[in-house]
Structure 1
């Protein structure tokens, strides 16, 4: 079995979760069973809804908190009727969209009910309020999976305990909480930290030399995983730039804090995986120079293409696409500003922005202030596999990509790309002048110069005489990312002894 360790997941997931989702498909295709372990608490949404959303199978998911119960992660099927039948006191009920209220006699006594969606009666959680004070929250899948207990402290509801249940309602274990200090109480064991709980879970997997552990996120859990890995082989996936260039010199290197621990524990790591050959080469050189070791590092793309996608109709002229989490570090606002400037000379230019995230409202405001709503659109989160091919080119303003799944998907649909000349994705997917343009970039680069280079490249691409040649080059470059090629790399790695 291949156990893949992550921490959290959301509706607007990061590249790490999408990389895991791609890996799950690859491992299915080569008949290598895998589990994906999530160790975060998910108080607002049901885990399995979010894992299904990006393509995981339910049976592939392990959640730390249900691992010690007889529940497995599953969709919510507990209904409003189930809840009503469990209530013995008279109440009135009303509902608006995804929330409802059961109001009881007395002074400010009620249940606030959170439904999975606005159209069905499946209950994700219930907050219980007595005399205006939150005292308890129940969480459900097919039944109650855990309960949180609260007490008023300094005018706020203070969480002090969780109980996790089996299907028959018996308590599987408890979590005692005192601010950041937690303790887990089992019938035969007391565990004094969450990291120790993760280690306990790992020990219960009964790992052998036939198993593989892959650590996708190490923070707060890598040590306990390594201590309990037993005879299993352990690998670490490098999802981002692994060091700080500005703080590195001939004598010292500053590792990315997400990877520093697993790098220092290299003698316990059987292999590292980078997404690009450029990063693999650099990582090996740095390990040899600064740590005097030669680790096993393999290049395996974090994604793959099921096929090359060709347009059924003519691509829309001067149409650009970008896709990412709408987060400030993706600098989508730079693209908006550049396209608005290019629009002065290319009046039929368009930019469609796909994705969700915290920067969405700021982007909407920016587009409206620049009077660009007729040619720059926010398109939300969508499955883009059949969408890229409708556009003429792809834009990226990210200044750091460990790989860049959207870049891979873009060339798989024959799109040229404009992006900054930064490690590692743009340097991997863009060959200057052949399928796009790499723009100079340095930290602290003057804004006008940076934007000027972007505008110049956009206009240059719009005037390109042979876009078909650029498209053909992208298709050719994408061939090495076809699923069959990536599957072979994974097969070779997992079968290696």
Structure 2
């Protein structure tokens, strides 16, 4: 029985989706399951990216292009980039380890931004293997030579064609990390999978009766046998509203250290945040709240850590701090590879996402014994903060600022919240998450055995 985790793309600098899927692949491998990460988009550097993310599970990655023996993916090791007179990229020529041309990617300008227009991928004998046509960087048509026949397909139809082939080779359980509606439809249409499981993140179902359109269609079609959610509340809501067969399993586990720095030994009056600088995180609200809190207590400071996914937004945040004359107490500190250790330098953290897939940084803060002050949004914060922090009304910057001031003034509350947070985080350690997956796997494999009987 092979367990296939499907993901549209997998790359550097992504959100928690890549992290979570990588962890699931590793967890299934630890359970001695035949597990594979399955990706679909064309990227000559995919193996390099996957080796960086998960070197211990590299052999368990199957890319659709690689499956069809497209040399530009399987063997592409050198890219020669050609530019026009304005230094705009017009062609990437991809060569394999034998320095043979195995792919060409053609570019054009869309609203002054460089985007792919087409790609031709070659066999080693020079014959054409595949042609991809793009509109605004999205593949709209594929011409594939397979088994001596030319197949003209939409990208989603090619995904289904590929998955039907892959699942026909041996009994398969598919786990779709759903994102795009058209891709989800392709996953749901696969005929050979024994069981189909969809993972819906919390931000794909934003409060009662308000699921995003694509996932409403997913649930209405009932093409997936199980829906996995991050929290129990969401699982109950989906089961109640849609009659779906659901189970709640955290998208990622957290390691709780045996000991952390005592609050008394950390930076005084410090709010520490580890995030991705993206508009969905509403970092501007964090800054505005700390500026307000600082007016009540001049020792309050904000330490920001994280990667930049939106440079224009990051520049906007820098300007916001400068305009508020807050550069002396609000600081950007770059990315960190040790989130728990970083959280353990502060007295509290704040969480202001517009929506959230789960809120892994909440767990990391709790593991560090750092209380969490968060907007009250479905489903992550409400489900996993509990006594480890405070919830304030979504979008209420004044309430957030007041909560910061009160938390930093109340040492006893912080100590209790710190202890409660570490206890709460232990419920999401690797052992607990693995046990939940094992319970589901047992049910899924029993379904296959029943089919065989």
Equivalent residue for 2:290, pick from 299, 314, 339: 339
1:414 Cα deviation from its structure 2 partner: 1.4
Superposed displacement of residue 304, structure 1? 0.4
Greater alpha carbon shift after TM alignment, 366-375 vs 412-421: 366-375
Does 1:201 pair with 2:150? no
Partners of 2:58 and 2:7 in 1: CA distance: 16
Paired residue for 2:229? 274
Q: Is the 8 A contact 1:207 1:232 kept in 2?
A: no
Q: CA offsets, 1:102-129, max 9 Å, x none?
A: xxxxxxxxxxxxxxxxxxxxx4442265
Match among 329, 350, 368 for residue 301 of structure 2? 350
Q: Partner of 2:268 in structure 1?
A: 317
Q: Could you say which residue in structure 1 is the equivalent of 2:214?
A: 258
Does residue 1:462 correspond to 2:411, yes or no?
no
- 2-structure distance, mates of 1:68, 1:140: 17
User: 2:358, 2:379 within 8 Å by CA — same for their partners in 1?
Assistant: yes
Distance 1:242 1:158 in 2: 28
| Separation in 2, partners of 1:480, 1:53 | 29
Would you say 1:46 and 2:45 are equivalent positions?
yes
What is the CA-CA distance between 1:427 and the residue it aligns to? Answer: 0.5
- 2: distance between equivalents of 1:381 and 1:127? 33
Q: 1:324 to 1:258 in 2, by over 3 A?
A: farther
* Residue 280 of structure 1, CA deviation: 0.7
Task: Pick one of 76, 82, 86 that aligns with 1:127.
Answer: 82
SS in structure 1 at match of 2:353: coil
Counterpart-to-counterpart distance in 2, 1:438 and 1:299: 22
> Paired residue for 1:364, among 318, 342, 345?
318
Q: Structure 1 33/318 Cα, relative in aligned 2: closer, same or farther at 3 Å?
A: farther
Alignment partner, residue 3 of structure 1: 4
Which of 382, 389, 393 is 1:436 aligned to?
389
Distance 1:352 1:47, change over 3 A: farther
Query: Counterparts of 1:365-404 in structure 2 under 5 Å?
Result: 365-383=319-337, 384-404=339-359
Report the Cα distance in structure 1 between the residues aligned to 2:27 and 2:143, rounded to whole angstroms. 36
Conservation of the 8 A alpha-carbon contact between 2:122 and 2:130: no
Q: CA RMSD in A?
A: 3.2
Secondary structure, aligned partner of 1:255: coil
Larger helix percent: 2
Q: Does 1:427 align with 2:382?
A: yes
Contact 1:48 1:75 in 2 (8 A): no
Partners of 1:352 and 1:346 lie apart in 2 by 16
Normalising by the residue count of structure 1, what TM-score does the alignment of the two structures yield?
0.77
> Which residue of structure 2 aligns with residue 474 of structure 1?
421
- Range with greater deviation from structure 2 (389-398 or 339-348): 339-348
The offset of 1:132, in angstroms, is: 9.6
Decide whether the 8 Å contact of 1:209 with 1:231 is kept in 2: no
Q: 1:452: how far off?
A: 1.3
Deviation at 1:426, TM superposition (A): 1.0
Aligned equivalent of 1:488, options 435, 446, 450 = 435
Q: Secondary structure at the match of 2:233?
A: helix
Gaps of 5+ in 1: 79-122, 288-293
- 1:309 Cα deviation (Å)? 5.4
In structure 1, C-alpha distance between the alignment counterparts of 2:75 and 2:272, rounded to whole Å:
34
- Partners of 2:198 and 2:303 lie apart in 1 by 35
* Partner residue in 1 for 2:23: 22
Counterpart mapping for 1:101-116 below 5 A = none
C-alpha distance 10-349 of structure 1, shift in aligned 2 (>3 A) = farther
Is residue 182 of structure 1 aligned with residue 141 of structure 2?
yes
Preserved contact between residue 91 and residue 106 of structure 2 (Cα < 8 Å):
yes
Q: Structure 2 CA distance, aligned partners of 1:420 and 1:369?
A: 25
Aligned partners of 1:296 and 1:263: how far apart in 2? 10
SS of equivalent residue, structure 2 residue 303 = strand
Q: Counterpart of 2:36?
A: 35
Task: Judge conservation of contact 1:352–1:378 (CA < 8 Å) in 2.
Answer: yes
Q: Determine if contact 1:216/1:238 at 8 Å carries over to the other structure.
A: yes
Offset of residue 439 of structure 1: 0.2
SS at match of 1:365: helix
Q: Offset at 1:178?
A: 7.3
CA distance in 1, matches of 2:94, 2:432: 43
- Is residue 271–residue 295 contact of structure 1 (8 Å, CA) maintained in 2? yes
Structure 1 residues 130 and 424, CA, compared in 2 at 3 Å: closer, same or farther?
closer
Compared CA separation, residues 158 and 7, structure 1 to 2 (3 A) = closer
- CA distance in 1: counterparts of 2:249 and 2:432, whole angstroms: 10
Uncovered stretches (5+) of structure 2, i.e. residues with no partner? 447-453
Moved more, 64-73 or 31-40: 64-73
Displacement of 1:308 in angstroms is: 3.1
Do the aligned partners of 2:70 and 2:129 also contact (CA within 8 Å) in 1?
A: no
Map 1:67-82 onto structure 2 (within 5 A): 67-69=67-69, 71=71, 78=77
**For residues 414-444 of structure 1, what are the alpha-carbon distances to aligned partners after superposition, in whole Å with 9 as ceiling and x for unaligned?**
111000122111111222xx32110023xxx
Q: Which residue of 2 aligns with 1:63?
A: 63
Map of 1:87 onto structure 2: none
